[in-house]
Amino acid sequence: FYRGKSVAVVGNGEYAVKEASELKHIAAEVIIMTNGRPLEASGSDPQMRINQSKILKAEGDEDKIRRLITTDGPLEVDGVFVAEGTASALDLALKLGIENDGKVILTDANQQTNLPGLFAAGDCTGGLLQVAVAVGEGAKAGMAAAGFVRKLQGGREPTVQWGG
């Protein structure tokens, strides 16, 4: 829908920057609208356009927003994505002291973090950001977590044998 078009992402945190980063490969122009607030995200792309104007009104038709009226004047867009208020897994990881690289949670081959007994899987660990990958990592993390608990209870760690 937005290939070669101009889109706005409304938000001022990591979630907004991540959404904008994904969209920049599709849309001709991506503008992060912080709605009057400073951008509070690390590692934002210096080539990404940031607009800190306050949004006063959105105008459009029944199908989509076509224009944002801001304190600096109107901004014509082909679409608007709202990326506000969602805490990422990295926010929690930072609070817990989980090792990360500033973008994703770091895990070992069994999806365990640097905190014993705490496992992470899916998009928060980077990789291909695909459902199938997340499901596989989740299964691996689940098996490893079950083994961790069994070991705490004095049992043997389960082994998994794939194929024959």
Residue 32's Cα: distance from chain center in Å?
A: 15
For 69, the token pair is 């009226």
Task: Choose the weakest-confidence range: 22-26, 44-48, 73-77.
Answer: 44-48
User: Which band of pLDDT confidence, cut at 50, 70 and 90, is reported for residue 18?
Assistant: confident
Over the stretch 28-47, which tens digit does the pLDDT of each residue have?
A: 999 999 999 988 877 667 67
The CATH code of domain 6-82 reads 3.50.50.60
Backbone angles phi and psi of 55, in degrees to 5: -85, 125
Which part of the chain is CATH 3.50.50.60?
Answer: 6-82
Percentage of the chain lying above the pLDDT 90 cut: 45
Over the stretch 77-88, which tens digit does the pLDDT of each residue have?
A: 999 998 886 666
Look up tokens 């990591």; give the residue: 14
pTM for the predicted model, two decimal places: 0.54
DSSP string, 36-101: TS----SS--TTSEEE-PPEEEEEE-SS-EEEEEETTEEEE-SEEEE--S---HHHHHHHHT--B-
Over the stretch 51-74, which tens digit does the pLDDT of each residue have?
A: 999 999 999 888 788 999 999 999
Over the stretch 95-108, which tens digit does the pLDDT of each residue have?
A: 788 999 988 899 99
